[in-house]
């Protein structure tokens, strides 16, 4: 029985099923991807860039279609889906524009030679394992730099995103990417493990859970393969002396984006103790005004979670926190009827001995903490196994920057949270993974940074 199924999270209805790759087809995929490498790497850089421009054009031209598709797959409201598609197109354009310069030879001090040059060259076939929460954007972060550099791609998307995965493959091929240079596979985890271990595969990039990351890292390490892992997060948002109501509104809206299903969402909101009541009241008002609705409607700002299973897990996490002594200010329960809807929740009083203190809550739940000093805020912010991103909000930006520099994260923001743009690096530390995507850093992960040195003339 296939696991690649479109089960509409707004209705619960199964709309489409896709056949899984058979074990006998794995060898063919590997042979095709490896075999396409020499021709693709030999394609002129300008031609690869032109292909990425056509990919971006297709995303923009088919935005409504693509947005509706993921609304039905994983429940993203179409207005937010359109924003994701726009960002994805920006990423392809960024690499088309900047990729050729990033691939240019770098001339070094010859240091006694006639010439010392660094070349950036592709390495071969790369596997991408992508998550369901940002179906187009996550793929763009991985695919755009690797196609630009000349690597070939085997892409395994999340099982619930099989339809959008197929459309992306169609777009790449129509834009001019050779059929075997980008291969979409409906593979099992065991088949992906087999592929990673194969000597024809040169690396693996995964965005997903800690469990999946650990499994992939183990296989990659055992086979001496490069891995990039973008895993979970429990991002802190520290409020200083900024306008409390204004920041609370921004934080609440950010937390509800994609129904809270974002690794870099502000999940832990850290506020001066004497401002907690005001902050919580504002967040509660925003949450209660955000009624879950049909993700295919342009008016909807809060859709269902990706599945009933995902919804039930978040509801259970909230209930467990309350059982252990936390205070629930609003929501936290499943909406009756069809679909994977829940009412957004606000929690306070979460302590270190509760599960909600250390686990990632991947849904529309804000946990608010009160602190009596900046040092206490920083200690709390860093007291997590995750280290993706964090933010500090304050009217005195110099002071806020100093505090942001104390956060153990891969991305520190001041007076904003979670901003992602094509030219900015994306990635974390600790159990949030390793490696970077986007910008020039994304171009540097799966390449051979090769030295070419020519000895001085012996004349």
Q: Which long-range contacts (CB under 8 A, 24 or more apart) does 12-17 make?
A: 12/308, 12/338, 12/339, 12/340, 15/72, 16/162, 16/163
Secondary structure tally for the chain: helices H, strands E: 15, 20
Whole-angstrom Cα distance, residue 89 to residue 59? 6
Whole-angstrom Cα distance, residue 444 to residue 149? 9
Backbone phi, then psi, for 80, in 5-degree steps? Answer: -70, -35
DSSP state of 111: T
Bridge-based pairing of strands 226-230 and 201-207 is parallel
Is 259 noted as a catalytic residue in this protein?
no
Contact 36, 190 (CB under 8 A): no
Give the sign of the dihedral formed by CA 350, CA 352, CA 353, CA 355: positive
Judge residue 18's burial from the number of C-beta atoms within 10 Å of its C-beta, 0-12 exposed, 13-18 middle, 19 or more buried: middle
Q: Which of 20, 84, 230, 242 is an active site residue? A: 230
Whole-angstrom Cα distance, residue 95 to residue 145? 6
Enumerate residues 6+ apart whose C-beta is below 8 A from 397. Answer: 414, 415
Is 115 noted as a catalytic residue in this protein?
no
* Secondary structure (DSSP) of 275-312: GHHHHHHHHHHHHHH-----TTSTT-S----S-HHHHH
Q: Which of 73, 263, 437, 445 is an active site residue? A: 263
Catalytic residues: 230, 263
């Amino acid at each position: 029985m296939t696991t690649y199924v479109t089960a509409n999270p707004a209705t619960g209805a199964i709309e489409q099923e896709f056949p899984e790759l058979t074990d006998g087809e794995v060898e063919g995929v590997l042979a095709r991807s490896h075999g396409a490498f020499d021709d693709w790497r030999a394609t002129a850089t300008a031609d690869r860039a032109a292909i990425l421009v056509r990919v971006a054009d297709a995303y923009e031209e088919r935005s409504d279609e693509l947005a509706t598709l993921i609304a039905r797959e994983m429940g993203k409201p179409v207005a937010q889906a359109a924003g994701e598609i726009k960002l994805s197109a920006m990423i392809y354009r960024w690499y088309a524009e900047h990729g050729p310069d990033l691939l240019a030879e770098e001339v070094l001090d010859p240091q006694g030679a006639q010439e010392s040059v660094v070349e950036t060259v592709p390495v071969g076939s790369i596997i991408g394992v992508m998550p369901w929460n940002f179906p187009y954007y996550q793929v763009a972060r991985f695919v755009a730099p690797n196609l630009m550099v000349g690597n070939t791609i085997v892409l395994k998307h999340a099982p619930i995103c099989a339809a959008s995965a197929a459309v992306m493959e169609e777009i790449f091929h129509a834009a001019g990417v050779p059929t075997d240079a980008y291969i979409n596979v409906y593979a099992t985890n065991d088949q992906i493990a087999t592929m990673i271990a194969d000597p024809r595969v040169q690396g693996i990039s995964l965005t997903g859970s800690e469990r999946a990351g650990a499994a992939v890292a183990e296989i990659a390490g055992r086979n001496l393969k490069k891995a990039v892992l973008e895993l979970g997060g429990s991002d802190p948002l520290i409020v200083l002396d900024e306008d409390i109501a204004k920041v609370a509104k921004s934080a609440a809206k950010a937390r509800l984006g994609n129904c809270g299903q974002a690794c870099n969402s502000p999940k832990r909101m850290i506020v001066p103790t004497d401002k907690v009541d005001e902050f919580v009241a504002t967040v509660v008002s925003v949450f209660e005004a955000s009624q879950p609705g049909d993700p295919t409607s342009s008016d909807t700002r809060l859709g269902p979670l990706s599945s009933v299973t995902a919804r039930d897990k978040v509801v259970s996490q909230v209930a467990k926190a309350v059982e252990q002594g936390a205070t629930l200010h609003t929501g936290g329960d499943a909406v009756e009827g069809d679909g994977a809807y829940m009412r957004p929740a606000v929690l306070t009083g979460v302590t270190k001995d509760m599960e909600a203190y250390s686990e990632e809550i991947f849904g529309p739940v804000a946990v608010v903490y009160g602190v009596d000093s900046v040092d206490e805020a920083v200690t709390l912010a860093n007291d997590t196994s995750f280290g993706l991103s964090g933010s500090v909000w304050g009217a005195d930006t110099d002071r806020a920057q100093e505090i942001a520099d104390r956060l153990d994260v891969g991305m520190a923001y001041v007076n904003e949270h979670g901003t992602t743009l094509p030219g900015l690096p994306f990635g974390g530390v600790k159990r949030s993974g390793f490696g970077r995507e986007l910008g020039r850093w994304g171009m540097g992960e799966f390449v051979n940074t090769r030295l070419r040195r020519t000895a001085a003339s012996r004349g």
